[in-house]
Structures are given as structure tokens and as C-alpha cells.
Amino acid sequence: MNDINFALTIVKETTSTNDDIEALLNSDIARDAGLLNFCGYSVLAFTQSAGRGRFERRWDSQYGGLYLSTLLFKDTLGNAFNFNMIVIITALSALQAIEKYAGNGALNIKWPNDIIGGNKKICGILTKALAGLPGTPLIIGFGVNVFNKIDSNVLRNSCVLEPVNLEELASTKFNENDITTLAAEILTRLNHNLKKAAEDGYAEIFADYNSKLLYAGENITLYNRIEDGVKMAEGRFHGIDENGFLLIEDTTCGKIKTYPAGEIKKL
């Protein structure tokens, strides 16, 4: 796989960088220029008025955070990649980029793709596949708390982990230049890991991701959606399999079962 040209547009404010990418996909500009030419096109905003995460939850997007979306085409990446692999590569890339700013604090990945520092959430990632469109577009949105003030009043009541920003985590002052530099580092790591997986295989990236998983070896509860309170499974967390599915040991019988989706919480 060749390097992807991650061309980056920076805006002061927008509703949602993911929505900006989707609007581009549906525009005459993209169709006239050749849709696949936009593989890697990215938008960075310093503020979002309608940021969101999984299950359409609101993502507090005040000034001082990194709000970045990028467009990939699965057909351009090749048949070696499935959706879950891209989710794993994306999460690992974000962690590797953020590590440079996190001071001495260790970072983990809360399955499937939240980045955690000091047992608090520092980054969320929303990946959306648009099946049926030419090239099979994938929109990947990153939200990183850098020096933004986080309004707990707009967070969901059942939030599993408290949020934190990089300033608090690293005890260092950051500014807009750090946001743009971090955005470039995320895209650089993403390009590197996609190329590595295509050329050298997926095993090393998979192992690196598994080694960073939060709650590995601990007892967890799996929900379909935290707010609904419906438990799908409980048991010891054994990481993920090669498909990106959870491995949970039923401690009553010792059998390990796989689960493709949901949300986890430590018991």
C-alpha cells in the first residue's frame, strides 16, 4: 500500500467534522474531481457545536480540544482490511500519537477505541462506514481533550469514566499549535500503521493493541448500551480475538465466549 496523502483543512469552528466529511462525499465537488482522490482528506476544528460520539451521544466540543475527522476508502486500502481491523489500527495510532503529550502517564485503550489516561477518558473515536457508496467510504472522527474545559453537565449520566484533558494529565500548558501538531501526528501514525499492516501483516499491531487494553485480566460487565442497563455478559476479560471481538471467560464454567459489540464496565 502506498502512503496516503492526508491533506488537512483547519477551521475555527464547525458543527461536526464528521458531518463536514459526509457533506463532501455527497457534493458535486467530490464527484467531479473523482471521489477516490479524496482518500485521506481530513478536517480539523478547534470547536464543534454538534459533536457526538457512539450511539449519537453528545461530545462536549469546546475550544481547546482536538476535533479531527479523516476520510478513507476501504476499496483503496485493499481487501486485507476489514472494519474491525481499521478500528483497532485507528485506536492504536491515536494512543501512540497522544503518548508524546501525556508526560509520564501510561495510556490504555478501553475497548473498542477510547483512549484512557489515569483511568480517565482523554480521547474518543467514532468510525462510520457508508456502505453502498463508491469506494466504501469510512469516516473516522477523533475527539481529544487537550486544554478544553469539560462541562460535566452535558455528559451522559451513565458515563463510565470521567473525562480528563492533556493539560491535567501531563501538568503542562498547551495551545493551538499543540492541537495542530497532535492532529498531524495522529494522521502520520495512522498512515504508518495502515502501511505496516498491509506490507508486514496485522499480527504486531494486533499484539500492541491487545497489550494496551484496559481491564485485561479483570472482571467486567458487557452491556449492549450502558444507558439501557441490559447486561449481555459478565466475566474475566481476556482481550480480543483476531476479529476484534471481546473474549470473556464465564467464571462459573470457565468457558471463554466471544462478543462482537457492546460496551464494557469494570465490575
Q: Which letter does DSSP use for residue 149 in this model?
A: P
User: Residue 183 has which C-alpha cell?
Assistant: 492532529
Q: What is the pLDDT of residue 157?
A: 44
CA 94 to chain centre: 7
For the segment 113-119, the average pLDDT, to the nearest whole number, is 94
> pLDDT by residue (tens digit) across 133-156?
888 899 999 999 999 988 766 554
For the segment 115-137, the average pLDDT, to the nearest whole number, is 91
Q: What is the pLDDT of residue 161?
A: 83
Residue 122's pLDDT band (boundaries 50, 70, 90)?
very high
Q: What is the pLDDT of residue 12?
A: 96
Q: What is the pLDDT of residue 26?
A: 85
Q: What is the pLDDT of residue 53?
A: 62
| For the chain, the helix, strand and coil percentages under 3-state DSSP, each to the nearest 5 | 35, 30, 35
Query: For residues 232 and 221, what is the distance between their CA atoms, to the nearest angstrom?
Result: 8
User: Residue 196 has which C-alpha cell?
Assistant: 505496516
Domains, the chain, with CATH or none: 8-211 (3.30.930.10), 219-266 (2.30.30.100)
With 90 as the cut, is the pLDDT of residue 225 above it? no
Residues 6+ apart with CB under 8 A from 195: 1, 2, 3
Contact in structure between 244 and 84 (CB atoms under 8 Å): yes
Query: For residues 35 and 131, what is the distance between their CA atoms, to the nearest angstrom?
Result: 15
With 70 as the cut, is the pLDDT of residue 19 above it? yes
> pLDDT by residue (tens digit) across 172-218?
999 999 999 999 999 999 999 999 999 988 999 999 999 999 999 99
pTM of the predicted protein model: 0.92
